Amino acid sequence: MHIDPLRAVTSDRLALTGLAILSVIVLMSVLAPVLTFFPPDYYTGQIFSPPSASHPLGTDSVGQDIWSRLLFGARTTLLVAASVAILSTSLSFLVGASSALIGGLYESFWMRFVDAMSSIPPIIVMILVAAYIRPNLMVMILLISILSWPGGARIIRSQVLSLKERGHVYASRTFGASWGHILKSHIAPELGPLLTAMMIRDASRAVFMEAGMGFLGVSDPMIISWGKMMQQALEFTYLDVWKWWLLPTGLALSLTLVGLCFIGFSLEAAMDPRLMPRSVEGDGEKC
């Protein structure tokens, strides 16, 4: 059965809400230099100043413009989300599809590997490694991707296994098509919606992990991260600053996650007629 993920998403109110939320975040990050007067690391000369015309969200404990940091934080979030989504889903696809097509010892090896890796919550390994190496953005993206792909590989493997027994694939094989050709022109298009759903799940896991590491203070201090901003702001809840520092940052992070969650849910609902949302067990996020 072909499912057009685009149609499923554009005809569903839930998904449209999610898309609308994400578009705002994307706009924030793209237009960041236009929407603010100050670079995110610029020292404005006054700390804890309340919202004003020049500082829409005031300044933080080290005198940086919070609105600027919020905008540039969106860039970090989206960069991590997109990179991890692409990298991790590619890895899942590579391992999952090749396992299903090659089979044998190769398949057993990878599936055992995948099972063992999915038994540990990725965030535990992430905290452990990050505590020692304080990863920068690049390393963080790589780490999250390495920890995220196994769950998806198993799903793709079982899909490819069932796809390769389908009629048209069978027909193609009788005409002498190579596995490479079959993978490219018959299996990959069928997997489209599944891969999209997987990328969304990977993206939302990545957003949570990046923010979580920032919140725990174990990522590179140079990264402008919403999680890091929340960790800093949480120390000053006895002042009024939380209203324009902690709250907007947390809301931005939550809305990004909620947006991804809505799109993912409507995609998964479109693919699974029984409407059973299932998430990979034991990790940081919900969707």
Residues of this chain that interact with other proteins (CB under 8 A) are: 14, 111-112, 115-117, 119-121, 123-125, 127-129, 131-132, 158, 161, 208, 211-212, 215-218, 230, 234, 237-238, 242, 246-247, 250-251, 253-254, 257-262, 265, 274-277, 281-287
Q: Which is nearer to other proteins, 23 or 46 (CB)?
A: 23
Residue 262 CB, nearest distance to other proteins (Å)? 7
Residue 120 CB, nearest distance to other proteins (Å)? 5
Residue 80 CB, nearest distance to other proteins (Å)? 14
Amino acid at 25: I
- Round to whole Å and give the CA distance between 265 and 282: 18
Q: Which is nearer to other proteins, 218 or 224 (CB)?
A: 218
- Round to whole Å and give the CA distance between 53 and 72: 19
Residue 242 CB, nearest distance to other proteins (Å)? 6
Q: Which is nearer to other proteins, 44 or 280 (CB)?
A: 280
Q: Which is nearer to other proteins, 44 or 259 (CB)?
A: 259
- CB within 8 Å of 279: residues ≥ 6 apart: 201, 285, 286, 287
Tokens (6 digits) for 178: 């190579």
- Round to whole Å and give the CA distance between 205 and 285: 6
How big is the CA angle at 89 (ends 74 and 161), to the nearest 5 degrees? 155
Q: Which is nearer to other proteins, 182 or 233 (CB)?
A: 233
| 8 A C-beta contact, residue 227 and residue 94 | no
From the list 113, 286, 89, the residue with the least C-alpha distance to 194 is: 89
